[in-house]
Amino acid sequence: MKTVWISALSKNQPRVAAVSAHLKRYGLQCKGHFWTDEPDKLAWRVALDSLREARADLWLILADNVEMAKPTVRYGLTLLSTALHASLGPGCPIAMLWDSPSTLELPPLLQNAVQLEEASPSWAAKIVAKANLTAKTSALDYRFEVVGDERLGQWFEIGPRTGGWNGVVFGVTGADVEIDFQAVGPQGGLPEKAVIEFPQQGLKLQVGSREFSAWALRNSVDSSCSYYARVKGCPTAILFMPYADESETEATVLQLS
């Protein structure tokens, strides 16, 4: 039986019950939670860990215009979708079920989600089709995670899936956002201690009309080793790339809200 993980943005129990009951008639198992809008406490990671544990075949967001207009909700959903894609690949598709028509512009990393409306008689059938797609491997050439908690803070973990980088440059942009620590250590958890090679701070990188504040180091990072940066606030976008001496190097930019 295929499993759908439901994230309800509003605490609307009747809506959740109705959606779950309808999907069960199509042979889908439903699990889920009510969304907690506390990105500073990494509350969205609870959903990520639960979604992985449930081995969900599809992540369904019960969306509404009021909640989706909140920058903090959009930020948390984007981080969850990005971490899910980076760790599981596109084998776990994302769908958004709206209770009414929406004209909101979604964050770029949520725009690939299947957009459905409850008023449409075919929404459940489309979810069944998506949940039964053959799993794919990730086409991304990088790893991306956000780790930590309210006590440890928000840490971005990145690294290559294959090969290695001779150092890392990591930047953030947004109001009241800053990097305040960086480290390198084994993949999958914050290192207890780290030796940083040739650290740099206060770098300014221009991408289009946006300026990123960046830190860098020269430690080698590979498929079993990650770069970690602690970030205060909710950046609108992050940037990272292998360290290079050339003035122009291709960077990955992830829009988060």
Question: 33-37, 146-150, 174-178, 239-243: lowest mean pLDDT where?
Answer: 146-150
The closest alpha carbon to 56, from 23, 94, 109, belongs to 94
Dihedral sign, Cα of residue 179, residue 252, residue 149, residue 60: positive
The closest alpha carbon to 252, from 180, 161, 179, belongs to 161
At 247, the pLDDT band (50, 70, 90 cuts) reads: low
For residue 202, what are the CA distances in angstroms to 15, 67, 182, 215, 218? 48, 35, 13, 6, 15
Dihedral sign, Cα of residue 182, residue 188, residue 192, residue 198: negative
Residue 253: HSE in the Cβ half-sphere, 13 Å Cα cutoff:
18
Task: Write down the pTM of the prediction.
Answer: 0.84
Average of per-residue pLDDT across 139-152? 81
Residue 2: HSE in the Cβ half-sphere, 13 Å Cα cutoff:
23
pLDDT, tens only, 169-217: 999 999 999 999 999 999 988 998 889 999 999 999 999 899 999 999 9
H helices present in the chain, as ranges = 13-24, 44-54, 65-68, 71-88, 123-131
Residue 42 is predicted with a pLDDT of 87
Tell me which architecture the domain covering 142-255 has in CATH: Sandwich (2.60)
Question: 147-151, 239-243, 246-250: lowest mean pLDDT where?
Answer: 246-250
The set of residues, in sequence order, having a beta carbon less than 8 Å from that of 72 and lying 6+ positions away, is: 37, 38, 39, 234
Percent of the residues in the chain that have a pLDDT greater than 70, as a whole number: 94
225-232: strand order across its sheet: 142-149, 153-160, 225-232, 178-186
Residue 86 is predicted with a pLDDT of 65
Percent of the residues in the chain that have a pLDDT greater than 90, as a whole number: 65
> Phi and psi (nearest 5°) for 255?
-80, 125
Q: How many CB atoms lie within 10 A of CB 192?
A: 7
> How many angstroms separate the CA atoms of 5 and 233, rounded?
28
Please name the residue that has the structure tokens 């909700």.
73
Helix (H, G, I), strand (E, B), or coil: what is residue 148?
strand
Q: Examine the pLDDT at 255 and tell me if it is beyond 90.
A: no
Domain boundaries, the chain: 3-131, 142-255
The domain 3-131 having CATH identifier 3.30.990.10: the answer here is: no
pLDDT, tens only, 89-145: 656 789 999 999 988 989 887 888 999 999 999 999 999 999 987 656 566 788 888
